[in-house]
């Protein structure tokens, strides 16, 4: 991409779109536009899905709690998108059985009515009737694409048997189904890979920033190798999440669209809590009127989330108070389970890209998505900022943005994304029987053990075949510090998955950090492989190791022994 700001007379055919921000929304827009034959440049100051998109509760959900603030459109759309993702990305999006503990029959009826009337009332007891109304509506919204069973209830006797450690004031529980994304960072990457496959003239630039110079040109700077180039675009998409206003400022546009709230999660290594969950999520109201969650995650338990107004997204971190609050909330439902700080495997914090607001209760701020349209000052170059939205709804949001851009250029959509499988979700064997057949057939084809093929299928979906091909061609060797990974697998990630930094591998291309597998020998072993593959000299390798260790410390990652 070259030449200065595009005016209508200089629009290239097909037009070029610059997308700033490779979170899930930027990745979604990139894939959608690439599928329509539009040439895109996707830029991020860091890695793919490194911002809020790496820090959610990892639910692919309708968002039942948003019914309480009257977000019916959003909940309906989210239920449909959840069901689509269960079909289109079955390798990473899985059903999640969910229990909502209930402490009364009538709790919440009056406060919900007052909330619907627009009054700010705390809702800290959601009784059987209000839960039944919510779950019925949820079933109704999920009907359009039916992939999950309807809800039902557990009475006190059934609960005593199913969750004996629940607090004795819990008299019943609603049981329904949500989705969870096991490895969202990889799903974002796969959207980008699918986009590049659909339109090889598109490009991505990671660890890079775009600014507008005093002379009005757009400059792309890669801050890993300090190179700068001029770029041209006919349309700009600002998908910078909580950083949208900062990015607009760099483009010469003053906006005040964003009013983010930070949310923290803990992953705890606590077998008693893990066993008490029996594979389910507990989605529970807390004494302070919020809704928190706990569910099994890579053999540990994910607990979340806080919701606290924040001024600058770069200042977000999980504080001691948040840790106390989250651990305290678990005590409300499991009073006999003691979780101490030493059980914490890691903490993470992200900033929700919410619209600017003067709400004191962040839970009341709309989670719907919007676009704000502007022009780069002094030009006719259009820019659209993507405000709000959930991980779950990225496809629908991308569809809307692409539609808007296509209409601007008078181009017809050629490709729909509703039923488009993503990455390793393509031709994914859905049932246990189909998986067993797939594994034995491919193990024979790639001359590996069925257990290896199975591990690759669960980690990469059907893209496992590409890794198995490389392992067959250059050999399979276990990592010394993480024997369920191979050195060839790491080589594959470096070669074909846009790895720039050691932390990209540990935190986003693999689940090593999330699953609690990282230790110092592993960091060094992977650094050796990456250095050879990415031509890092000794200095660069040393820097990468130090930066990765700092990143692990930032996330309070407890290094495995
Ligand atoms: C605590 C929490 C819990 C959540 N839970 C859920 C959930 O369970 N389910 C759900 O559906 N949603 C959930 N969400 C919402 C969801 O995670 C976000 O709405 C979504 O990830 C936003 O994606 P995004 O692409 O808009 O922003 P981001 O993922 O933040 O992406 C913005 C990107 O812009 C880049 N960037 C910033 N500045 C620049 C610059 N100057 N130049 C280039 N790039 C730049 C950043 O590096 C980043 O990659 C949660 C969010 C949070 C914070």
Task: Reply yes or no on whether the pLDDT at 1 is more than 60.
Answer: no
Atom of ligand 1 nearest to the CA of 25: 25
Euclidean distance between CA atoms 57 and 263, whole angstroms: 9
Whether 52 is in the pocket of ligand 1, judged by its Cβ within 6 Å, is yes
Mean pLDDT to the nearest integer, 253-278 = 96
Whether 26 is in the pocket of ligand 1, judged by its Cβ within 6 Å, is yes
Round the average pLDDT of the chain to a whole number and report it: 93
CB-based contacts of 246: which residues, under 8 Å, 6+ apart?
Answer: 240
Whether 55 is in the pocket of ligand 1, judged by its Cβ within 6 Å, is yes
Whether 374 is in the pocket of ligand 1, judged by its Cβ within 6 Å, is no
Whether 251 is in the pocket of ligand 1, judged by its Cβ within 6 Å, is no
pLDDT in tens, 182-230: 999 999 999 999 999 999 999 999 999 999 998 889 999 999 999 999 9
Task: Reply yes or no on whether the pLDDT at 394 is more than 80.
Answer: yes
CB-based contacts of 393: which residues, under 8 Å, 6+ apart?
Answer: 74, 77, 78, 81, 369
Mean pLDDT to the nearest integer, 236-252 = 97
Task: Reply yes or no on whether the pLDDT at 119 is more than 70.
Answer: no
> Is 391 or 361 the better-scoring residue by pLDDT?
391
Q: Is beta strand 16-20 parallel, antiparallel or unpaired with respect to 39-43?
A: parallel
Which of 367, 118, 382, 150 minimizes the C-alpha distance to 248?
Answer: 382
pLDDT in tens, 30-57: 999 999 999 999 999 999 999 999 999 9
- Please give the distance, rounded to the nearest whole angstrom, from the Cα atom of residue 24 to the centre of ligand 1: 7
Atom of ligand 1 nearest to the CA of 305: 1
pLDDT of residue 114: 66
Whether 63 is in the pocket of ligand 1, judged by its Cβ within 6 Å, is no
- Please give the distance, rounded to the nearest whole angstrom, from the Cα atom of residue 199 to the centre of ligand 1: 25
Distance spanning both ends of the chain, measured CA to CA: 48
Residue 109 is encoded by which pair of tokens? Answer: 């009826």
How does DSSP assign 180-246, residue by residue? EES-HHHHHHHHHHHHHHH-TT-EEE-SEEEEE-TTS-EEEEETTTTEEEEE--SEEEE--GGGHHH
> Is 15 or 246 the better-scoring residue by pLDDT?
246
Whether 42 is in the pocket of ligand 1, judged by its Cβ within 6 Å, is no
Predicted TM-score (pTM) of the model is 0.95
Whether 318 is in the pocket of ligand 1, judged by its Cβ within 6 Å, is no
Task: Reply yes or no on whether the pLDDT at 7 is more than 50.
Answer: no
Task: Reply yes or no on whether the pLDDT at 410 is more than 90.
Answer: yes
Whether 17 is in the pocket of ligand 1, judged by its Cβ within 6 Å, is no
Structure confidence at residue 475 as a pLDDT band (50, 70, 90): very high
Give the residue, by CA position, lying nearest to ligand 1 atom 50: 56
Which of 370, 360, 415 minimizes the C-alpha distance to 393?
Answer: 370
Atom of ligand 1 nearest to the CA of 392: 11
Probe target for ligand 1 pocket from 31, 45, 46, 52, with the most ligand atoms within 8 Å of CB: 52
Structure confidence at residue 448 as a pLDDT band (50, 70, 90): very high
Mean pLDDT to the nearest integer, 249-264 = 94
CB-based contacts of 64: which residues, under 8 Å, 6+ apart?
Answer: 75, 100, 134, 135, 138, 176, 283
Mean pLDDT to the nearest integer, 59-77 = 89
Mean pLDDT to the nearest integer, 246-274 = 96
Atom of ligand 1 nearest to the CA of 57: 8
Structure confidence at residue 118 as a pLDDT band (50, 70, 90): low
Which of 296, 97, 66 minimizes the C-alpha distance to 177?
Answer: 97
Whether 57 is in the pocket of ligand 1, judged by its Cβ within 6 Å, is yes
The residue count of the chain comes to 561
> Is 238 or 287 the better-scoring residue by pLDDT?
238
Task: Reply yes or no on whether the pLDDT at 12 is more than 60.
Answer: no
Task: Reply yes or no on whether the pLDDT at 3 is more than 60.
Answer: no
Whether 239 is in the pocket of ligand 1, judged by its Cβ within 6 Å, is yes
- Please give the distance, rounded to the nearest whole angstrom, from the Cα atom of residue 241 to the centre of ligand 1: 5
Residues 491, 544, 269, CA angle at the centre, nearest 5°? 80
pLDDT of residue 275: 98
Give the residue, by CA position, lying nearest to ligand 1 atom 35: 21
- Please give the distance, rounded to the nearest whole angstrom, from the Cα atom of residue 261 to the centre of ligand 1: 11
Q: Is 300 helix (H, G, I), strand (E, B) or coil?
A: strand
**Full 3-state SS string of 66-127:** HHHHCCHHHHHHHHHHHHHHHHHCCCCEEEEEEEEEECCCCCCHHHHHHHHCCCCCCCCCCC
Probe target for ligand 1 pocket from 79, 385, 390, with the most ligand atoms within 8 Å of CB: 390
pLDDT in tens, 333-343: 999 999 999 99
Whether 247 is in the pocket of ligand 1, judged by its Cβ within 6 Å, is yes
Whether 131 is in the pocket of ligand 1, judged by its Cβ within 6 Å, is no
Whether 305 is in the pocket of ligand 1, judged by its Cβ within 6 Å, is yes
Euclidean distance between CA atoms 170 and 127, whole angstroms: 10
Probe target for ligand 1 pocket from 218, 240, 263, 387, with the most ligand atoms within 8 Å of CB: 240
Mean pLDDT to the nearest integer, 269-291 = 95
> Is 105 or 22 the better-scoring residue by pLDDT?
22
pLDDT of residue 202: 97
Structure confidence at residue 117 as a pLDDT band (50, 70, 90): low
CB atoms within 10 A of CB 560: 17
Probe target for ligand 1 pocket from 19, 209, 243, with the most ligand atoms within 8 Å of CB: 243
Instruction: Please give the share of the chain, as a percent, with pLDDT higher than 90.
Output: 83
pLDDT of residue 70: 81
Atom of ligand 1 nearest to the CA of 43: 43
Sort residue 503 into left (φ over 0), alpha (ψ -120 to 50) or beta: alpha
Mean pLDDT to the nearest integer, 6-27 = 75
pLDDT of residue 2: 36
CB atoms within 10 A of CB 216: 13
Mean pLDDT to the nearest integer, 335-357 = 95
Whether 184 is in the pocket of ligand 1, judged by its Cβ within 6 Å, is no
Structure confidence at residue 130 as a pLDDT band (50, 70, 90): confident
H or E stretch at 293? strand 291-297
pLDDT of residue 64: 85
pLDDT of residue 530: 98
pLDDT of residue 358: 77
β partners of residue 218: 212, 231
């Amino acid at each position: 991409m070259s030449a200065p700001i595009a005016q209508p007379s200089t629009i290239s055919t097909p037009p070029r779109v610059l997308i700033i921000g490779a979170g899930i929304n930027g990745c979604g827009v990139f894939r959608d536009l690439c599928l329509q034959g539009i040439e895109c440049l996707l830029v991020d100051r860091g890695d793919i899905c490194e911002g809020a998109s790496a820090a959610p509760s990892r639910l692919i959900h309708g968002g039942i709690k948003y019914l309480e603030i009257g977000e019916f459109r959003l909940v309906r759309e989210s239920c449909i998108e959840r069901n689509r993702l269960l079909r289109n990305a079955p390798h990473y999006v899985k059903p999640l059985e969910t229990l909502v503990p209930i402490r009364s029959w009538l709790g919440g009826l009056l406060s919900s009515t007052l909330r619907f009337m627009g009054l700010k009332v705390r809702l800290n007891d959601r009784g059987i009737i209000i839960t039944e109304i919510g779950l019925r509506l949820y079933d109704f919204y999920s009907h359009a694409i039916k992939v999950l069973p309807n809800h039902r209830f557990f009475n006190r006797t059934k609960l005593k048997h199913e969750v004996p450690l629940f607090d004795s004031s819990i008299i019943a529980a609603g049981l329904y189904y949500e989705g969870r994304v096991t490895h969202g960072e990889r799903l974002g990457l796969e959207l980008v890979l699918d986009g590049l496959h659909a339109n090889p003239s598109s490009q991505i630039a990671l660890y890079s920033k775009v600014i507008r110079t005093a002379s009005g040109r757009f400059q792309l700077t890669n801050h890993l190798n300090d190179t700068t180039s001029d770029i041209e675009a006919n349309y700009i998409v600002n998908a910078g999440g909580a950083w949208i206003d900062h990015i607009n400022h760099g483009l010469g546009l003053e906006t005040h669209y964003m009013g983010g709230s930070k949310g923290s999660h803990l992953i705890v290594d606590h077998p008693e809590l893990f066993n008490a969950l029996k594979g389910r999520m507990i989605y529970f109201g807390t004494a302070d009127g919020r809704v928190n969650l706990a569910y099994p995650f890579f053999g540990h338990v994910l607990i979340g989330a806080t919701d606290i107004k924040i001024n600058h997204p770069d200042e977000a971190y999980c504080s001691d108070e948040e840790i106390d609050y989250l651990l305290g909330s678990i005590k409300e439902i499991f009073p006999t389970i003691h979780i101490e700080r030493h059980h914490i495997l890691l903490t993470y914090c992200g900033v929700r890209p919410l619209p600017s607001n003067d709400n004191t209760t962040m839970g009341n701020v709309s989670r719907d998505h919007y676009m704000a349209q502007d022009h780069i000052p002094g030009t006719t170059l259009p820019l659209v900022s993507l405000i709000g939205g959930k991980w779950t709804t990225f496809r629908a949001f991308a569809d809307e943005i692409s539609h808007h851009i296509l209409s601007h250029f008078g181009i017809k959509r050629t490709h729909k994304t509703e039923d488009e499988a993503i990455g390793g979700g393509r031709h994914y064997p859905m049932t246990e029987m189909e998986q067993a057949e797939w594994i034995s057939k491919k193990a024979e084809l790639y001359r590996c053990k069925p257990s290896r093929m199975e591990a690759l299928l669960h980690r990469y979906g059907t893209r496992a075949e590409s890794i198995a091909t490389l392992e067959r061609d250059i050999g399979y060797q276990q990592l010394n510090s993480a024997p369920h990974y191979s050195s060839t697998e790491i080589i594959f990630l470096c070669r074909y998955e846009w790895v720039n930094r050691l932390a990209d591998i540990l935190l986003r291309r693999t689940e090593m950090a999330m699953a609690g597998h990282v230790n110092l020998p592993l960091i060094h072993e992977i650094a050796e492989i990456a250095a050879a593959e990415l031509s890092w000299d000794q200095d660069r390798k040393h820097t990468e190791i130090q930066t990765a260790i700092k990143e692990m410390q930032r996330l309070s990652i407890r290094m495995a022994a």
